[in-house]
Structure 1
Amino acid sequence: MESQQNPSSSADNKKIAFQFIIFMGAVSLFGDITYEGARSITGPYLAVLGASASIVGLVAGFGEFIGYGLRLVSGYFSDRTQQYWTVTIIGYGLLCSIPLLAFAGYWQIAAFLIIAERMGKGIRTPARDTILSHATKQVGRGLGFGIHEALDQIGAIIGPLIFSAVFIFEGGYRKGFTILWIPALLCVATLLVARIKLPSPEKLETSGGPTRQNIQGKGRLPRIFWFYALFSFFSVAGFVNFQIISYHFKVQSVISDVQIPVFYAIAMGADALVALIIGKTYDKIGLISLVSIPLLTLPIPLFAFSHSYGFAIIGVLLWGTAMGIHETIMRAAIADLTPIEHRGFAYGIFNTVYGVAWFLGSALIGLLYDFSILYLILFVVVMEAISVIAFFLLKKEIILSQRSQEIRTALLK
């Protein structure tokens, strides 16, 4: 990848941006191999170290809570200091807490290291997405985030398979965690190389003209962003997580225990494939592609919570497809809806809204599952219907913003 020193043409910028996105995708690939590999077995590992089920749940819940909470702070800090690379590197540096689990002799130490990794993810995500968004301006927001997500999900598939291979060859937890030093160090090394190659990615996104939506504001987050946050909240709140789906598969004997991880891998494969397709679609038709999120989310419980093996496969494929859209164009849209100077904070707010919606929605869906599948489906329908209403409010705000911009432009002529 060439250095970004006085790029001579738009074609050069596009080439530099594409190579940079591949580098950042490789960073996420190695990162996902590390922490997704660990997350697949941290529960049993804590149990081996003497932790109770309640402790395991507390560690997992607190880790996610602090991870999402830090994203708001990290995004704001990144914008104020403009130290996007520094924040990203610190966040990925904490990934090394995962292979250190090999040396944890007590569950308390393991719990600290697990939470430290979640803190690292919370710290790095808004700054990393901001850095990535500058490069996606050159190749297309959707395609850029789609390539990144596809590489990310390849890592999410490889990680758990590494531990499966370790157990097959009669290795233990410690050997598995020790092996994870390799992707963890490759992750940080690749990130440092990307930093050297492109120290100022924001230069790929000049402020010489308006975005496609022509709706970015100056000095603060625009009103349209808050409509988008509202849409995101309700669409995510009605999204059934895989833990509940896999729980149903287990207790209702829909599929065997051995096949549940395979179904998850199938979902991740669908996620990776759809990320590229929906990303390119977003670049062609814009924000209207977001309507696919509630439309795909609605049928998931109908298939996933059936007692049919075939329907279970369909439900998992729909779930993976929806996740691919979540992780691609929902992130891409932030870059199109917000000014550069506040984008880190915008990503922090978005991730916090996403996390809160995921937590509250999952908790309610879990309670409703124990009570009645019918009420669970009704809850999903209501949440997604509200999200569709929020989307059309979003579109209305875009139209009003565009008209206001046209009037201002005409007056200045």
Structure 2
Amino acid sequence: MLKALFSLPRSVWLLGLISLVNDSASELVYPLVPLYLSGVLMAGPRVLGLIEGVAEALASLLKLWTGVMVDRSGRSKPWVIAGYGLAGIARPLIAFVAGWPLLLALRLTDRVAKAVRAAPRDALLAANIGPGQRGLAFGLHRAMDNAGAVIGPLLAWALLSAGVPLGQVFLWALIPGLLCLGLTLAVREAPPPATAPPRFSWTLAGLPKPLRRYLVVVALFTLGNSSNMFLLLRAKELGVAEAQVPLLWAAVSGVAALFSVPLGGLSDRVGRVRLLVVGYVAYATFYIGMAAWAAPGWRLYLLFGLYGIFMAATEGVERALLADLAPAEQRGTAFGWLNLVMGAMLLPASLLFGWLWEGLSATVAFGFSAGCALAAALLLTAWVRPAATMR
């Protein structure tokens, strides 16, 4: 495993390092936005919902558009530079916000920046690695991204514990932002595919049938994969102290970072579909446990550890499987569709989960999510037929 890992191209490692640095800045800021909104700007949950909902909706559409533009131009690097650069500028400017409309504008800029870089980065990563190592490469990328998700909250906690004012903490995001921008300039562009992409269609008609079926499976699973904020709310409801909630989430990212590489590499040998099925089943088990078995202490930490395993088994593998299913000349468009489906389903998933929780019970809400995951696992096994080596 180590030999294969260190044999990965320089571009794969560099893109992983960029994600680590960027996510450190992103997760330094993200947990503090609700605190800043309510404690400094005196705005409530409705404004927070408006900000995040508008930002994610626009980002979902842009992710597809930039993927299509990558295929048409044959270039990914300019989009990657622009995406990381915009985010690096927007985050520290939150320190100077005096009203929520400006915060909305900055969060929108940050989400737009993510949308601009997401599909081009994944397409660039796929172009730099062969099919036999895609799982390992995407697993490494997700591991480094999750490592950044551990560093960010811990850094925020350390700065606040040292007495740094909340507003000034946002300014610290400038340092990793500038470092991230510098690293993107060192990324090498991949050679364009020899075949020109077909004309884009909103009906998905130009994409291979297994890829279209896979997107349906992803949509079904994502319908039960609501905002992670509900998991933290459930932990708080079960009795976890507020100060420990961010640390609990940092631990999840730590588990995901630890297992993403070995599980991604395993998908190169046993098949992507099998690994994704295992991940979906782990997700269903976690949600059933959160509904009926969770309790403060070792049970809750065991369940959140299982959630980290789910992330490790799916985040990189689902992108590697998409790269297997997409022709080289349509890779950017395919990653754009994947990001669009995930982003577009997040809003109805969260609204439905919240309605089930408040209208019926937490058990019903968590049970529905588990059911979606199990149904997606069955559909993936029976319906999606990638190449024999990737089953």
**1:17-75 CA distances to partner (integer Å, 9 max, x unpaired)?**
53211111111111101111111101121231233331122101211221222111111
Aligned to 1:3: none
**Is 1:329 equivalent to 2:317 in the alignment?**
yes
Q: 1:113 to 1:282 in 2, by over 3 A?
A: same
TM-score normalized with structure 1 length? 0.84
Shift of 1:220: 3.5
Aligned to 1:82: 74
The answer to whether the Cα contact below 8 Å between 1:131 and 1:201 also exists between their aligned partners in 2 is no
Aligned counterparts, 1:236-255, within 5 A? 236-239=222-225, 241-253=227-239, 255=240
Match of 1:390 among 360, 379, 391: 379
Shift of 1:225: 0.2
Structural RMSD (CA):
2.4
Aligned to 1:302: 288
The answer to whether the Cα contact below 8 Å between 2:75 and 2:190 also exists between their aligned partners in 1 is no
Identify which range, 25-34 or 365-374, moves more after superposition. 365-374
**Is 1:37 equivalent to 2:24 in the alignment?**
no
Shift of 1:380: 2.7
Shift of 1:127: 0.4
Amino acid at match of 1:199: E
**1:58-111 CA distances to partner (integer Å, 9 max, x unpaired)?**
101211221222111111122112231111111111111101222223322222
Q: Distance in 2 between matches of 1:243 and 1:131?
A: 31
Aligned to 1:379: 368
Aligned to 1:292: 278
Aligned to 1:142: 135
Shift of 1:345: 0.6
Amino acid at match of 2:120: A
Q: 1:34 to 1:294 in 2, by over 3 A?
A: same
Match of 1:277 among 262, 273, 279: 262
Query: Unaligned regions of 5+ residues in structure 1, if any?
Result: 1-13, 208-218, 403-413
Aligned to 1:213: none
The answer to whether the Cα contact below 8 Å between 1:239 and 1:297 also exists between their aligned partners in 2 is no
Amino acid at match of 2:317: I
The answer to whether the Cα contact below 8 Å between 1:99 and 1:178 also exists between their aligned partners in 2 is yes
Amino acid at match of 2:322: I
Aligned to 1:264: 249
Aligned to 1:211: none
Identify which range, 340-349 or 310-319, moves more after superposition. 310-319
Shift of 1:16: 7.9
Identify which range, 184-193 or 42-51, moves more after superposition. 42-51
Aligned to 1:161: 154
Query: Unaligned regions of 5+ residues in structure 2, if any?
Result: 196-204
Q: Distance in 2 between matches of 1:343 and 1:245?
A: 33
Aligned counterparts, 1:3-402, within 5 A? 17-47=8-38, 48-95=40-87, 96-137=89-130, 140-194=133-187, 198-200=188-190, 220-239=206-225, 241-253=227-239, 255-287=240-272, 288-305=274-291, 306-309=293-296, 310-370=298-358, 371-396=360-385
Aligned residues: 371
Q: Distance in 1 between matches of 2:189 and 2:176?
A: 23
Shift of 1:173: 2.5
Q: Distance in 1 between matches of 2:53 and 2:22?
A: 21
Amino acid at match of 2:249: Y
Amino acid at match of 1:189: G
Q: 1:363 to 1:311 in 2, by over 3 A?
A: farther
The answer to whether the Cα contact below 8 Å between 2:84 and 2:113 also exists between their aligned partners in 1 is yes
Identify which range, 74-83 or 273-282, moves more after superposition. 74-83
Q: Distance in 1 between matches of 2:369 and 2:116?
A: 31
Q: Distance in 2 between matches of 1:395 and 1:50?
A: 49
Q: Distance in 2 between matches of 1:131 and 1:146?
A: 15
Q: 1:61 to 1:333 in 2, by over 3 A?
A: same
Q: 1:106 to 1:346 in 2, by over 3 A?
A: same
Amino acid at match of 2:21: F
Q: Distance in 2 between matches of 1:301 and 1:142?
A: 26
Please give the secondary structure, in 1, of the residue aligned with 2:271: helix
Identify which range, 373-382 or 115-124, moves more after superposition. 373-382
Amino acid at match of 1:368: L
Identity, in percent, stands at 27
Q: Distance in 1 between matches of 2:190 and 2:226?
A: 39
Amino acid at match of 1:228: Y
